[in-house]
Amino acid sequence: MTKQGVNPYLPDWEYVPDAEPHVFGDRVYIYGSHDRFGAPFFCVDDYVCWSAPVEDLTDWRCEGVIFKRKQDPSNFTGIRCLFAPDICQGPDGRYYLYYAYDFMGQMGVAVCDTPAGKFEYLGHVRFPDGHYWGGKSGEPLPFDPAILVDDDNRVWLYSGFATKVPAIASRFHNLTNPGGVVIELEQDMLTIKSGPKLIFPLEGYPEEYKGHRFFEASSIRKINGLYYFVYSSENNHDLCYATSDKPDGPFKYGGVLVDIGDVGLDGITDENHARNYLGNTHGGMLKIKDDWYIFYHRQTYKNSYARQACAEKLVVNPDGSIQQAEITSCGLNGGPLVGYGKYDARIACNLWSKEGTGRYDVSGAKRKFKNHPFFTKNVNTYEPKVGQYIANMQDGAVAGFKYFDFENKNQTDTCPTMIKLDVGGEGFGQMIVSTDENFDTEVARIDIDMKQFGMSTFDGQLTKIEGTKPLYFKYQGQGAIDFISFALI
């Protein structure tokens, strides 16, 4: 089978959240922070870059480590984490990487002659008098940079964190968390020319922002003369956008671009009954050839410290407004996946238990979700060829995959008649397969008998499916199984 694009789009062992996408030359480059499976906190690893040809969004290549934590003199011990970065090509043709070390209160800049690194430390964003931004009491916390070199070569830096928790921003120099700010930089890419100017305040929003006020995750794009500011809202599990005809605002609320649990789509309003488990997300928009995409990340391992990069195609209306994208398993594929062949369970875009879903970023999450399914990494549990999978599917747990083309155009004239499951864990029951999330249309029922912990394959007949459809798998039975993969044969 020809290689296809799936979500998450990077290998199952890679954890790159906060990914900002950019096209330089004929390649798409991804710049994000770097999580580690099993880590106790966000962003504990050095920056890496991944890239793919514009013509083939399935062919991702790791460019390696592009910037190390210890390269910044303020973090020579390496104990501070590199949070979400952004990058631009400066007026001089070189590439500038902007980053912030967790809550230290500094915005660093690194530079390289090529977009794939290796980047070298340049300095910290500073005021004309020489003191670095964040070096004086009362200044807004430098956090989550977004950088734009405008058509006139003016350089705009966006940042911000909106929280009423004073301790986060007062650990260093009594900084503040007023919301989203914009700064104009000089041509040296370091010195502040004007600002910071508050453009997304913590309080006092127009009514149009209700329920979707700015929280963090700044990202900026210019489209047909209009500035699109992308951000994570107070909900923290969606990416919204606002527009302005000026780079420094004011910005008018536009809507939600994507929500990692599809909250806001199809009448879904309850965080405890979303289509996937919730936590923070961060990303940006990118036009690739003729299509626009929103890049974001999902949560795994029942916490927010092992996040993975995903993307969805956007529908841009003639008036410039953008529709909320549905989370899928086939975001960068250019269309549905082939309704034939083998797929890893890790590409499920929907996952919930009998009790629903919820937020991983709440106190006691591990205890709260003890009986829930979750994405995890194979750590000496199954044979080496097994990578990431869905663990702990107990009675009533559902995994959903969107979408498959069961007409199989240009692939095969044979429609699948059987489905095979690779299953681990220890349980006894059935896996019911449907083309709708309410299981009104059952297409297969597969007996599962895992009397002792291990890994086995089970199969069953598949009712003929026509057109483009999702597939939902619901486990009914005793114990808990691990869903590793399935094959449409």
Q: Let me know: does 117 contact 63? Beta carbons within 8 Å.
A: yes
Catalytic residue annotation: 18, 216
Residue 199, class by beta-carbon neighbours within 10 Å (0-12 exposed, 13-18 middle, 19+ buried)?
A: buried
C-alpha distance from residue 90 to each of 31, 115, 189, 343 (Å): 16, 11, 8, 42
Q: Let me know: does 20 contact 32? Beta carbons within 8 Å.
A: yes
How far is it, in rounded angstroms, from Cα 149 to Cα 220? 10
- Among 80, 36, 108, 299, smallest CA distance to 171 is for 80
C-alpha distance from residue 415 to each of 6, 329, 338, 340 (Å): 21, 21, 11, 7
How far is it, in rounded angstroms, from Cα 163 to Cα 234? 9
Q: Let me know: does 357 contact 375? Beta carbons within 8 Å.
A: no
Rg (CA), the chain: 23
Instruction: Report which residue type is found at 100.
Output: A
- Among 85, 116, 99, smallest CA distance to 284 is for 85
Chain centroid to Cα 395, Å, comes to 29
Look up residue 416 and give its two tokens: 């699948």
Look up residue 118 and give its two tokens: 């290796």
* Residue whose tokens read 């921003």: 169
How far is it, in rounded angstroms, from Cα 280 to Cα 285? 17
